[in-house]
Structure 1
Amino acid sequence: MAALQSLRPAVGGIVRNPILVVVAALFAVAQLPNLLVPPSMPVLSLAVSIGLFGVFVLGLPFAQGGFLGMSDEAVTGHTRLGTFLRVGKEHYVPLLLGYLVLLALNFAFGFLAFFGAMAVVLGGAYTAAESTAAGSAMSMGTGPTAGTGGVAAGASGFGADPTILAAAAIVGLGLLLVYFLVTFFVQFYAHAVVLDGTDLVAGFRRSASLVRHNVVSALGYTIVLFVGGTIFGGVAALSSSIAAVAFGGGMADGNPAAELLPALSPAVAAVGLVVYLVVVGVMGAFYGTYSVAFYRSLSGSA
C-alpha cells in the first residue's frame, strides 16, 4: 500500500535534512505569542489572535509552498533554505487563492452549523413554551381536557420535538460528511500546484482525480496522519500547557491548565517549551516529507 511504502522515504528525508524540523518549528514559534498571553488580559489576547490570524492568512500560503518544495527535495536527496524562499514566492498567488477558497468553505460550513444549532434551540424553546401554555390552560379547566391530564401534558412539553432533533441530526451529519469528503478529495491541491506546476483549478482537479482512483490508499494515508497527529499532538498539547502555565501567569490568571498542573519552576517550563517546539517541528517535517512521498507515489513519479 502506498500509505505504508511512503513512510520510509519520508523518515529518510527528515534524517538527511534536519533543517526541515527547524523550519517547521518556526511555525510553532510564530504561535507562541497567542499561547503565552495571560487569560486575564482578554483584550490583548483578542488583539494578538486577530493579528496572528491575518499574518497566517497572508503568510501561510508562502510557507506552505516553500515547505513542500523543500520536502520534495528532501525525499530524494538534500534540500536548503533557498528552496523555501524560491518555491514559496513562485507559487504564492495560486496557493493564497486556494487557501482563501478553503477558508471560505470552513466559514460556510461553520455558518450553517451555527444557525442549524440555533434553529434547533429556538424550535425546542418554542415547543416547550407552547406545551407549557397548553398545560396551564388544561390545569385551569379551560382546555379540552382539564385537570390532572393538563399537568402531564405541560410536563412533557419541555424540550425540542424529537422529529426536529432527528431531522437536525441527519442534516448535521450530512453536512459533516460533505465537508469531510470535499476536504478529503482536494487535500493534495497544493502538491499539484507546487510539484506539478498546475494552476489552482487544475490542482483541485488533479487532487480529486488521484484520490478518486486511490481511495483505499488515501484512507490509509489519512489514518497514518491521524494516529501520528493524535500521539504527537497530545505530547505537544501537554508541553505547551506546561509552558503556558509558567509563562502565561498560571492559576492566578485563570489558566485552566494550571488547575491540573502543580507549581512549575522556570527550568521545567523551559523544558516544556523546548519539547513543544521540537515535537511540532518533527510533526511538520514528517507531514511535509510523507505527504510529498505519498503524492509522488500516487502520481506515478515516485
Structure 2
Amino acid sequence: MAALQSLRPAVGGIARNPILVVVAALFAVAQLPSLFVPPSRPVLSFAVSITMFGVFVLLLPFAQGGFLGMADEAVAGRTRLGTFVSVGKEHYVSLLLGYLVLLALNFAFGFLAFFGGMAVLLGGAYTSTGSAEAGNTVSTGAGAGGAATGTGGFGADPAVLAAAALVGVGLLLVYFLVTFFVQFYAHAVVLDGTDLVAGFRRSAGLVRHNLLGVFGYTVLLLVGGTVFGGIAAVSSTVAALAFGGGTPGSPVAELLPTLSPVIAVVGVLVYLVVVGLIGAFYGTYSVAFYRSISESG
C-alpha cells in the first residue's frame, strides 16, 4: 500500500535534512504571541488574533509552496533554504487563490451549519411551544375553573432535533468529501507545475483512482496528528499558564509561582520541537505519497 510504502522515504528525508524540522518550527514561533496574551485582556487578545490571522492568510501560501519544494528535494536527497524562497515565490499567487477558495468554503459550511441549525432548533421550539399552549387551552376548557395541567415553554421536538442532526451530519460529510478530494491541489501546483484549476482537477482525479490508498494515508495523518498535536497543545497550554501564572486564586496560580519560568521555557521548547517534527513529517510524507500515486496513476 502506498500509504505504508511512503513512510520510509519520508523519515529518511527528515533524517538527511533536519533543517526541515527547523523551518517547520519557525511556523510555530509565529504563533507564540497569541499563546501568551493573558485572557484578562480580551481586547488585546482579539487584536492579536485578527492580526495573526491576516498575516497567516498572506504568508501561509508562500510558506506552503516553499516547504513542499524543500520536502520534494529532501525525499530525493538534499535540500536547502534557497528552495524555500524560490519555490514559494514562484507559486505564491496560485496557492494564495487556492487558500482563499478553501477559506471561503470553510466559511460557507460554517455559515450553513450555524444558521441552519439555529433555524431548525428555533422552529422546533416554536412548534413545541405552540403544542403546549394548545394543550393548555384544551385542559383549561375541560375542567370548570380548573387550572391548566401543562405549561408552555421552549423545548425542541425530538423529531426536529433528529432532523437537525441529520442536516449537520450531511453538511459535515459533504465538507469532508470536498476536502478529501482536493487535499493534493498544492502538490499538483508545486510538484507538477499546474495552474490552480488543473491542480484541483489533478488532485480529485488521483484521489478517485486511489481511494483506498488515500484513505489509509489520511487515517495515518489523522491518528498521528491527533497524538502529537495533543502533545503540542498540552505543552503550549502549560507554557502559557506558567508564563501568565494562571488565574489569580486558581490552583495553577498557587502551584506554579516558583517554577513558572522553567516550566514556560520547557513547554515552549517541547511545543516547538513537536510542531517542527509534525510539519517536517507531513511535508516529506505527503510528497512521497503524492509521487507514489502519481506514478501509479
What range is the shorter-chain TM-score in? over 0.9
What CA distance in whole angstroms lies between the structure 2 residues aligned with 1:47 and 1:260? 30
Contact 2:129 2:155 in 1 (8 A): no
Question: Which residue pairs with 2:80 in the alignment?
Answer: 80
Q: Are 1:27 and 2:19 matched, yes or no?
A: no
3-state DSSP of counterpart to 2:155:
coil
Judge conservation of contact 1:134–1:150 (CA < 8 Å) in 2: no
Q: Which residue of 2 aligns with 1:173?
A: 169
Alignment of 1:126-137 (within 5 A): 126-137=126-137
Q: Displacement, 1:253?
A: 9.5
Aligned-residue CA RMSD (Å): 2.3
d(CA) in 1 for partners of 2:179, 2:55 = 23
2-side partners of 1:118 and 1:90: how far apart? Answer: 44
* Structure 1 unmatched runs, 5+: none
Matched, 1:217 2:213: yes
Cα deviation digits, residues 23-72 of structure 1 (max 9, x gap): 00011000001111000000000000000000000000000000000000
Structure 2 Cα separation of the partners of residues 127 and 97 of structure 1: 44
Query: Does the 8 Å CA contact 2:121/2:164 hold for their aligned counterparts?
Result: no
2:247 pairs with one of 241, 247, 251:
251
Check the 8 A contact 1:70/1:79 in 2, yes or no: yes
- Cα distance per residue 1:153-186 (max 9 Å; x no partner): x47x752223322222222111111100000000
Match of 1:242 in 2: 238
- Distance in 1 (CA, whole Å) between partners of 2:263 and 2:256 is 11
Give TM-score, length-normalised by structure 1.
0.92
Per-residue deviation, 1:120: 2.6
Measured in 1, the distance between the counterparts of 2:218 and 2:208 equals 14
How many residues are treated as equivalent by the alignment?
Answer: 295
Partner deviation per Cα, 1:198-220 (whole Å, 9 max, x = no partner): 00000000000000000000000
Using the alignment, how far apart are the partners of 1:301 and 1:22 within structure 2? 32
Distance 1:71 1:199 in 2: 20
- Contact 2:71–2:283 (8 Å) recurs in 1: yes
Letter in 1 for 2:149: V
- Whether the aligned pair in 2 keeps the contact of 1:16 and 1:77 (CA below 8 Å) is yes
- Counterpart in the other structure of 2:269: 274
8 Å Cα contact 1:28-1:277 kept in structure 2: yes
Structure 2 segments unaligned to the other structure (5+ residues): none
Is 1:300 the equivalent of 2:275? no
Structure-2 separation of matches of 1:122 and 1:108: 21
Identity in percent: 75
CA 1:149 to 1:216, structure 2 compared with 1: closer, same or farther past 3 Å? farther
Deviation at 1:102, TM superposition (A): 0.2
Q: d(CA) in 1 for partners of 2:12 and 2:6?
A: 10
